[in-house]
Amino acid sequence: MKAKQEFKVVPKFPEKLSALKRMAYNVIFSWQNEIRDVFQRIDPKLWEQSGHNPVVLMSLVEQERLNELEQDTGFTSQLEEVAHRFDLYMAAPPLDQGRTCVAYFSAEFGLTTCVPIYSGGLGILAGDHLKSASDLNIPLVGVGLLYQEGYFAQYLNNDGWQMESYPVNDFDAMPVVQVKDANGQPLKVYVTFKDRQAAIAVWRVQVGRVPLYVLDTDLDENPPDIRGTTAQLYGGDRETRIRQEIVLGVGGVRALKAMGLTPTVIHMNEGHSAFSALERINILRQDQGLSFDAAREVVQASTVFTTHTPVPAGNDTFHPELARAYLEEYGKELGISWPVLLGYGRVNPRDDQEPFGVTPLSLRLASHANGVSKLHGLVSRHMWQSIWPKTPVEDTPIDSVTNGIHVSTWASREISRLFTRYLGQDWKEDPDPERIWQFIRQIPLSELWRAHCHCRERLIAFARRALFRQLKNQGAPASSLQKAMEIFSPDTLTIGFARRFATYKRATLLFSDPERLDRILNNPERPIQIIVAGKAHPQDNEGKAFIKQIIHYSREKRFNNRVLFIENYNIFLASLLTSGCDVWLNNPRRPLEACGTSGMKALANGVLNLSILDGWWDEGYAPQYGWAIGSGEEEANQQLQDLTESQALYNLLERQVAPSFYTRTSDGIPLAWCEMMRESIKDLVPRFSSHRMVRDYYERFYRQCSDRYNKLVSDNFKAATEQAAWRQKLMTNWADLAILELSGEVGTVKTVGETVTVDAKVRLANLEPEDVTVEVYYGAMDHQGEFTNREILAMSPVRREGEAWAYQAKIDCQQAGRYGYTIRITPSREKLGNPFVMGLITWA
């Protein structure tokens, strides 16, 4: 029988303890150790039972205990000091207040274990982005989805096969608060699925100074299938996925509007939020009466898009008929026909068989697009170059901003204390990271080593308990349970491998030659132990087979005390592994790892990386920081590549990694190893922190987009209307542009320091010089006359000659070599934030 009415009873918090409630609903506790310490001090046992969730802790703590704490002057003094610092942090005014407001959209956010709305690296990156925006006080809000079941919980059956369960999230037991409207009622916005209306509730997760608004369709007024739209992260079929992306993109923009928020910049973290660009166009048409073209100018100028996926299959696409069922009527609201809207989502708009893709849509409606490492930017330019067929690969408008990690989230408590002691109390928010991280040199190697050993001991203790639980759940005998509590040694070289079990990450590469691996791991003088964790997508049977294979190896007698798989990888386990291992192993098939931020988390703890030169390690590696597997080769023969790189991995473990770890001073410190730890922290942490990453976005993209947005919307959108008319003029006249004559010093020999004069006559038809940019495209050449690198030099209009314009530029000869040049015309760089987005280019 169900109750007719319900009510809730919570402890009564004394006034002296009221700050606890304020801090419990801000996930700043996930990176501020002093706040966590306060909650843990309330009841250490209950803190562990709650899963480090202060909301659950405060609902379970006994009233008697709260009354005791009120009289505990030591506790109240600590709380008062921590709350004071928290309030000062929250009260600081944001940068560029009033001119910039960034809305950061992502399908997942990894903030803390008690907000399980993430699956892996994409979500953790998004969470770290919000945390750094908070620390740097950048005016930003997040927009995501609040999943009823989140991503799955992983457990293994007796044969080592991954199984999935979907625990239901209790929003009352999470640090989330429902957003209310002006009448105090739950705020709702609506979207349309085919011909049915879907209601969406809005919740807020406070991330330091940054609010994250998450959307939820599990409402009584929705029919069951619509209620389940936000049930699971990356669950369901293609129809569920397009609904989720409509809720995120269209519903997210409508939610911001309903709360009175008008972002000057939208940052789409992956293509899941592509529809946010369309909805912004829709709102500008409805509210301001703009044409589609004028509204698009505003939206495109103020949109940033980050792609994370280096393989075409990882980019969401929808069958044209499915897309039509959900978007054709919406296209009419936008003022464009269905074929035009469909074309925005196709690489080739004229290919009737091509599905509708959110990545082409995002690329066409953003003024700035980027990959997440330098190598990934290059891969992405090759992947999507055909959207701009007349543009060379190197000019494809996809830049790169290398990912980073939020250091104060991922640095262990022991390492954080060292940073505070030697870098100063404010290292987490210091605006000059390059300067402050140089003080890492002052940390004595002995202190660094002791701190790391504590982390390894904690990891091994957890690993034993985890294996005990796994075996117990599988019905293992008492003898196996006893052995589980003795597995591994806290003094043995420990390698960590933990990530999503996609096949390109090659989780079983280390096991390619079991006999040789046996000799390496069981070397009596230099033993090695390996801890593995990670989830395969529920539909990825190949990934699941990798997990099963590792489980079977771990059960062999020779590997029984050397290899361990810990199930249900999450943020908490990741923090233990990336701080407690000695070496972080990453061996993807280059160049398919977009970035690989888990290695950065290890880096923040002085854990040394042993990795393929892919993603971030391709730009971060140097011999004093860790080890590279191979030299960046990309073999067409995958079997040969796997064989070659597995042997290179074994050689490194035998000849470099293990000897370095076990070569100790008389007091047991591996000096050379610790030097590498210290050097990697000093040089690489500031380069690969999310503070650096968010500053890059702010300085390179956000400010420019915000300035263009404010300019376009000023004077009742006059500039936007003029910009749309100007774009139309370019589209109408571009076919008549021509480079009539290219002249200059041809075949001459110059010495370094001289210049080469380039002259050109250009027919601009009905356009003027301020409408276009004429450039010299020059650089060194190979033996076939192809550019090996290129430079761009703007040409200046010198005079009008009848129907043509004369342009001139001078190339500085700075280095000896064989050089060449050509000329091109693009739309004006001054009038467009990105001159290549229109796809208009004329070459000599």
Task: For residue range 445-471, list pLDDT tens digits in order.
Answer: 999 999 999 999 999 999 999 999 999
Tokens matching residue 385 = 């170059």
Taking residues 691-695, what's their average pLDDT? 96
Taking residues 35-64, what's their average pLDDT? 95
Q: Is the pLDDT of residue 689 over 80?
A: yes
For residue 782, what pLDDT band results from cuts at 50, 70 and 90?
confident
Q: What is the pLDDT of residue 750?
A: 84
Q: What is the pLDDT of residue 99?
A: 85
Environment class of residue 791 by beta-carbon count within 10 Å: exposed (0-12), middle (13-18) or buried (19+)? middle
* 490 cis-preceded (ω within 30 degrees of 0): no
For residue 95, what pLDDT band results from cuts at 50, 70 and 90?
confident
pLDDT digits (tens, 9 = 90+) for 419-451: 999 998 888 876 677 788 999 999 999 999 999
Contact residues for 538 (Cβ-Cβ < 8 A; gap 6+)? 152, 164, 235
Taking residues 406-413, what's their average pLDDT? 97
* Helices 33-42 + 73-91 axis angle, to 10: 150
The Cα 367–Cα 602 span in angstroms is: 34
State the residue for tokens 């030299």: 631
The Cα 271–Cα 363 span in angstroms is: 9
Q: How much of the chain, in percent, has pLDDT values that exceed 90? A: 87
Provide the CB-side half-sphere exposure for 833 (13 A, CA).
26
pLDDT digits (tens, 9 = 90+) for 499-539: 999 999 999 999 999 999 999 999 999 999 999 999 999 99
Q: What is the pLDDT of residue 6?
A: 74
Q: What is the pLDDT of residue 834?
A: 82
Q: What is the pLDDT of residue 816?
A: 86
The Cα 97–Cα 480 span in angstroms is: 61
Q: What is the pLDDT of residue 833?
A: 75
For residue 7, what pLDDT band results from cuts at 50, 70 and 90?
confident
Q: What is the pLDDT of residue 447?
A: 97
For residue 314, what pLDDT band results from cuts at 50, 70 and 90?
confident
For residue 746, what pLDDT band results from cuts at 50, 70 and 90?
low
The Cα 800–Cα 807 span in angstroms is: 9
- The DSSP symbol for 232 reads B
The 10 Å CB-count burial string (b at 16+, else e) for 210-230 is: bbbbbbbbbeeebeeebbbbb
Q: Is the pLDDT of residue 747 over 70?
A: no
Q: Is the pLDDT of residue 3 over 70?
A: yes
Q: Assess contact for 296 and 724: CB atoms under 8 A.
A: yes
Average pLDDT value over all residues in the chain:
94
Q: How far is CA 658 from the centre of its chain?
A: 33
Taking residues 833-844, what's their average pLDDT? 86
Q: Which helix (H) or strand (E) holds 629?
A: strand 626-629
With left for phi above 0 and alpha for psi between -120 and 50, is residue 412 left, alpha or beta? Answer: beta
For residue 123, what pLDDT band results from cuts at 50, 70 and 90?
very high
Give pTM, 2 decimals.
Answer: 0.96
Q: What is the pLDDT of residue 10?
A: 75
The Cα 336–Cα 642 span in angstroms is: 50
The Cα 833–Cα 677 span in angstroms is: 42
Q: What is the pLDDT of residue 431?
A: 61
Q: What is the pLDDT of residue 832?
A: 83
The Cα 174–Cα 53 span in angstroms is: 7
Taking residues 740-761, what's their average pLDDT? 84
